Amino acid sequence: MSNIKIYGSSFVFFIFTIALILLAFFSRSEILEQNINILIVLFGLSFGWLIGIIVSPYNSNESIIFTQYTKAFTAFFSGYTIGKLDQITDEVFSPEFIFDPTNGFRLLIFISSFIISMIITFVFRQYL
């Protein structure tokens, strides 16, 4: 049963990833904007991979290590940095930003690539 989950998830992951890369490439005619779109997809995939690894440790030892990393990361980004992130989040999710076609598209390809990467990482770490 787990092989079906892995094969099915892998198939969906590759179809979605190819679709996102093609959308990122063909949505703009300028090379620089195409490259930025593709980098956003790659960043979303990489970030989703990282978070997928953190949320699905192989064993209790890895769970302890990931908990320590999470605490260190949280301590580093607390206080001043969180305050600055709040301003960035307010800007990114403002209607003027989201409803701009380029920004909205880039936000959606980032979120989509992040989610599918996190799911495939979780599936592989849980069922393989």
Per-residue pLDDT at 89: 86
Which residues have a Cβ under 8 Å from the Cβ of 16 and sit 6 or more positions away? 112, 116
Report whether 38 contacts 24 (CB < 8 A): yes
Model pTM score: 0.86
Residues written for the chain? 128
Digit-coded pLDDT (tens) for 88-123: 888 888 999 989 999 999 999 999 999 999 999 999
Q: Helices 101-127 and 2-26, interaxial angle, to 10°?
A: 160
Report whether 113 contacts 22 (CB < 8 A): no
- Mean of all residue pLDDT scores within the chain: 90
Digit-coded pLDDT (tens) for 50-73: 999 999 988 889 899 988 988 888
